[in-house]
């Protein structure tokens, strides 16, 4: 026995529901390429590596200036800035360099956050081949996969530092190419 429910007061509903289901599937399919763009950062990082290796502006220092913001459930926001240099590590294109980390909970004056006299030195590494970031902070080391949006903003969530750690931070990177010519 096959039961089928039909509205006696609105017979058109039986035709509208399949149409809405079909439109939903089509809409999700149309949005899927946008979701796919927010995946691996290989192309973005490889583009920076190609730029650093090709030295398009001649001899000089090719650096990626970076800024990183983070926040976690503990509501301790941080800001890191510094410069990364390209190097070949094994068979991988890697950008590494130092940075300075500022903290929202380290205050100065009348409740001003991000005290410039209470910063930590950190090291940052971005691997173009694996799309992974490594942040060696004063209190922890985070290794995580990077994802990119269509504008080249990189982001990822830090790995848990211990069992049941619910305060894993999210890190958001922005990169800017910098060139300083050598002086003869």
What does the pLDDT look like over 132-146, one tens digit per residue?
Answer: 999 999 988 999 999
- Ordered by where they begin, the domains of the chain are 42-181 (2.40.128)
CA 104 to centroid of chain Cα atoms: 20
Specify the pLDDT at position 104.
93
SS3 45: helix
pTM assigned to the model: 0.75
**What would the mean pLDDT of 113-121 be, rounded to a whole number?**
95
Contact 153, 174 (CB under 8 A): yes
- pLDDT band for position 90 (50/70/90)? confident
> Tokens 């899927």 identify what position?
32
3-state secondary structure at position 99: strand
Q: Which DSSP symbol is given to 168? A: P
Q: Decide if pLDDT at 32 tops 60.
A: no
């Amino acid at each position: 026995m096959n039961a089928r429910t039909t509205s006696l007061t609105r017979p058109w509903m039986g035709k509208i529901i399949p149409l809405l289901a079909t439109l939903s599937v089509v809409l999700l399919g149309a949005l899927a390429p946008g979701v796919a763009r927010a995946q691996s950062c290989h192309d973005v990082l490889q583009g920076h590596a190609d730029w650093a290796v090709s030295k398009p502006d001649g001899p000089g220092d090719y650096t990626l200036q970076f800024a990183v913001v983070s926040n976690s459930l503990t509501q301790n926001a941080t800001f890191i800035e510094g410069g990364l240099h390209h190097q070949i590590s094994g068979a991988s294109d890697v950008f590494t360099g130092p940075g300075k980390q500022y903290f929202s909970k380290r205050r100065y004056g009348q409740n001003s956050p991000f005290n410039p006299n209470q910063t930590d030195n950190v090291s940052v590494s971005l691997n173009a081949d694996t799309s992974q970031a490594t942040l060696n902070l004063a209190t922890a080391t985070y290794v995580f996969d990077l994802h990119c949006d269509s504008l080249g903003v990189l982001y990822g969530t830090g790995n848990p530092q211990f069992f049941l750690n619910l305060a894993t931070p999210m890190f958001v990177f922005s990169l800017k190419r910098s060139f300083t010519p050598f002086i003869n």
